[in-house]
Amino acid sequence: MKREISLLQATSINMIDMVGIGPFVTLAIVIKTVGSNLFLWAWIFGAVTALIDGMIWSELGAAYPLAGGSYNFLKEAYGKKGGKLMSFLFVWQTCLQSSMVVASGAIGFAQYFNYLVPLGFWGEKVVSGVLVIAITALLYRNIRTIGKMAVFLWAGVIIIILWIIISGFTHPQVSYSCMPSEGQSMFSAAFALLVGQASVKTIYSYLGYYNVCHLGGEIKNPGKNIPRSIFISIFCIAALYLAMNLSVVGVLPWQEAAQSKYAVSLFMEKIYGSRTAQVATLLVLWIAFASLFAVVLGYSRVPYAAAADGNFFPVFARLHPKKDFPYVSLLFVGGLGFLFSMLLRLQDAINAILAMRILVQFVAQAVGVVLLRRRNGTANLPFKMWLYPLPVVISVLIWLFVLYSTGLAALLGLFLAACGVAVYFLFKNTWQGKLLK
């Protein structure tokens, strides 16, 4: 695999992954969950979580810039005894949750399409399924072409969000404050629980700042460009999300926005009228399409990396004979994403996505940084996180709090991890034996 993705292209891939349909469909859900004007703090909490976790990804991504991202980080951190199992569990949950991420984006796309044309249940399923197929077909090409396409899609995403933000700030109609009023408190257990539940949705909307790590084997100058792309992505997207929320509730009262599945479309309708709102809705769908493009691209490299390393089913190690991309892995992620888009509901998919990843990926990686520093020292690290070990401690505590906030989905995550352990010990000799042959 060739290092042909520049800093601009890497940042573009990260940002279009982060800004999908998520912030548009979760905007109302977050407000409704918190149930007050303090909902903006859930978005701030999500941004802080992304920034702290981004330090961990930056240190690991710069030190181990290979295809597969977390697969390599976990293998290196947990050594010969635990490394193969932990890295396999990451690939195992990625094969499931990455396809859920694809499905959630496609389901959200179809739901938002209802603003333009009422689809009904089966109409939504057809639209979401066709979208996944189209994305997979578009990615069936070499990485140089994909990098250029990502920059084009990213430019469209930024222009659209800036239009939404500027429209709200130049046409204010209601006053809004994110500070507590008389009788409200930000320092109570009840408020913390509400923010925790809402933050499951906001963190979902921030996910993707690490996508560049999955493409580590294709990034130019990875020691510098991987951390840069992660932090640029987080700061820019956090600013855009906060500004967009303030813009919307400056036109739509937050009580009204909480009840709408198409809050941004109604916001544009209130300012410009129905025709412009329809155009804005089409542009929101452009963003969702661009995000799915980046999601499928990044995740398709994970099963490939594990299979090429002899720690997953060998068929996933195949590269396209002419275009040098992992086509079996791509078709698998796209195919399973299509299936999940037919079967799942959006909120169930969002909760399951986070619950499945927190222990095996986010918490395990945070602990892995400590293990690697103790074993190898820090002299050769291209990037060192700031204020170590404070980001590690805070990150673990935040992720455990978010896991608790996912409710029953946390049990699903633990069950699937246990299934992964069983599959590993049942089949590891099979694929490792084929690799030796």
How wide is the angle at C-alpha 247 spanned by C-alphas 285 and 289, nearest 5°? 15
Give me 57's structure tokens.
Answer: 């990804």
Residue 216: the pLDDT is: 85
Could you report the per-residue pLDDT of 46-88, keeping only the tens digit for each? 999 999 999 999 999 999 998 778 888 999 999 877 888 898 8
Percent of the chain with pLDDT over 70: 96
Residue 270: the pLDDT is: 92
Residue 92: the pLDDT is: 87
Q: How far apart are the first and last CA of the chain?
A: 23
Q: Which residues contact 86 (CB under 8 A, 6 or more apart)?
A: 74, 75, 77, 78, 360, 364
Instruction: Output the pTM of the full model.
Output: 0.82
Query: Distance (Å, rounded) from C-alpha 227 to C-alpha 245?
Result: 27
C-alpha count within 13 angstroms, C-beta hemisphere, residue 386 = 5
Domain ranges for the chain, please list them.
Answer: 7-432
Give me 356's structure tokens.
Answer: 């499945």
Q: Which residues contact 107 (CB under 8 A, 6 or more apart)?
A: 124, 128, 341, 344, 345, 346, 349
Q: From residue 105, how far is each of 102, 277, 291, 337 by CA, in Å?
A: 5, 21, 8, 10
Segment 301-324 shows an average pLDDT of 82
Segment 410-422 shows an average pLDDT of 85
Residue 431: the pLDDT is: 61
User: Residue 242, class by beta-carbon neighbours within 10 Å (0-12 exposed, 13-18 middle, 19+ buried)?
Assistant: middle
Residue 363: the pLDDT is: 93
Residue 435: the pLDDT is: 44
Could you report the per-residue pLDDT of 381-393, keeping only the tens digit for each? 999 999 999 999 9
Closest C-alpha to 43, from 25, 26, 21: 26
Q: Which residues contact 45 (CB under 8 A, 6 or more apart)?
A: 195, 199, 202
Could you report the per-residue pLDDT of 232-283, keeping only the tens digit for each? 999 999 999 999 999 999 999 999 999 888 888 999 999 999 999 999 888 8
Could you report the per-residue pLDDT of 180-229, keeping only the tens digit for each? 887 788 888 888 888 888 988 899 889 889 988 988 888 899 999 999 99
Residue 141: the pLDDT is: 66
Beta strands in 175-238 (DSSP E): none
Do residues 195 and 34 touch, judged by C-beta distance below 8 A?
A: yes
Segment 316-323 shows an average pLDDT of 83
Do residues 281 and 262 touch, judged by C-beta distance below 8 A?
A: yes
Q: Which amino acid type is present at position 163?
A: W
Give me the chain's average pLDDT, please. 86
Closest C-alpha to 105, from 11, 208, 187: 208
Q: Which residues contact 289 (CB under 8 A, 6 or more apart)?
A: 109, 131, 135, 153
Region of poorest pLDDT, from 30-39, 133-142, 327-336, 424-433 = 424-433
Phi then psi for residue 215, to 5 deg, are -105, 20
Could you report the per-residue pLDDT of 345-367, keeping only the tens digit for each? 766 777 777 777 888 889 999 99
Residue 437: the pLDDT is: 43
Do residues 306 and 316 touch, judged by C-beta distance below 8 A?
A: yes
The dotted CATH code for 7-432 is 1.20.1740.10
Residue 45 pLDDT exceeds 90: yes
